[in-house]
């Protein structure tokens, strides 16, 4: 997370007092420098900070502090009681028949989506991977009794001046009860993060991982 930088005034002993005009010049330069630093710092405040018209919610530092998650974050349980998670109070959650979308209330360049659970049909992740572009890592991830595949990819288009980083976590062997299928069916669920601003990658991935740490299957 980015922190506002505060200037420090250093004193050095052993020098004679400067003439009055020089003192005035130094004071003017000091005030101007502090104003510039404060203005620069304010312009870099995280987009997660809510506007004054919104109900008070966690600051950026509170959002990424794991000690404050339970106290400040909201809890969501899917309408079919398939899974639950927690998310920052200054984010919006939209639910539809295919899953949910999570993003900050303020306009941002990243979004989290969760699709499923549903009956697993069609191609497997391993069959799709060869056609994917920009994959930079592939690992296993376990949540509860289920193990899924975590894929990270990054693409940069100089022609379109566009950047995209994505993280996809896919579970393909959920129980038929979670998928609301017939006995023997396997369930599918995908958790996706998309970031279109390279400067926000580290900050957003930290928040994403904390949201993920609260995710629980309910079967």
- Tell which CATH architecture fits domain 60-217: 3-Layer(aba) Sandwich (3.40)
Specify whether the CB–CB gap between 136 and 154 falls below 8 A.
Answer: yes
pLDDT surpassing 50 at residue 122:
yes
In angstroms, the first-to-last Cα distance of the chain is 35
Q: Is the pLDDT of residue 3 over 60?
A: no
Q: How confident is the model at residue 63 (pLDDT cuts 50, 70, 90)?
A: very low
- State both tokens at 121: 């049909």
In this structure, are residues 89 and 57 in contact, taking their beta carbons and an 8 Å threshold? yes
Contacts 24+ apart (CB under 8 A), 208-211: 208/112, 208/167, 210/64, 210/66, 210/69, 211/85, 211/86, 211/87, 211/102, 211/112
Q: Exposure of 197 by Cβ count < 10 A (0-12 exposed, 13-18 middle, 19+ buried)?
A: middle
Residue-range domain boundaries for the chain: 60-217
Comparing 54 with 121, which gets the higher pLDDT?
A: 121
Q: Mean pLDDT of all residues in the chain?
A: 75
Whether the predicted pLDDT of 85 surpasses 70: yes
Confidence of residue 70 (pLDDT cuts 50, 70, 90): low
Return the pLDDT at 113. 96
pLDDT at 148: 95
pLDDT over 70 percentage in the chain: 68
pTM for the full model? 0.66
Residue of higher predicted confidence among 76 and 7: 76
Is residue 153 scored above 90 in pLDDT? yes
């Amino acid at each position: 997370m980015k922190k506002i930088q505060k200037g420090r005034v250093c004193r050095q002993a052993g020098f004679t007092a400067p003439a009055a005009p020089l003192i005035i010049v130094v004071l003017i330069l000091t005030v101007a420098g502090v104003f510039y630093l404060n203005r620069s710092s304010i312009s870099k405040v995280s987009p997660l900070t809510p506007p004054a018209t919104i109900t008070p919610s966690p600051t950026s530092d509170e959002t990424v502090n794991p000690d404050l998650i339970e106290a400040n974050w909201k809890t969501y349980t899917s309408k079919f009681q398939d899974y639950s998670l927690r998310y920052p109070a200054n984010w919006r959650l939209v639910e539809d028949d295919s899953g949910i979308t999570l993003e900050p209330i303020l306009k941002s360049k990243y979004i989290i989506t969760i699709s499923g659970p549903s009956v697993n049909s069609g191609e497997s992740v391993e069959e799709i991977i060869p056609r994917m572009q920009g994959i930079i890592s592939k690992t296993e991830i376990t949540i509860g009794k289920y193990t899924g595949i975590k894929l990270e990819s990054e693409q940069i288009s100089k022609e379109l001046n566009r950047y995209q980083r994505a993280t996809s976590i896919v579970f393909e062997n959920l129980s038929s009860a979670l998928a609301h299928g017939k006995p023997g069916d396997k369930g599918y669920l995908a958790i996706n993060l998309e970031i279109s601003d390279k400067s926000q990658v580290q900050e957003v991935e930290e928040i994403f991982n904390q949201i993920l740490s609260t995710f629980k299957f309910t079967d």
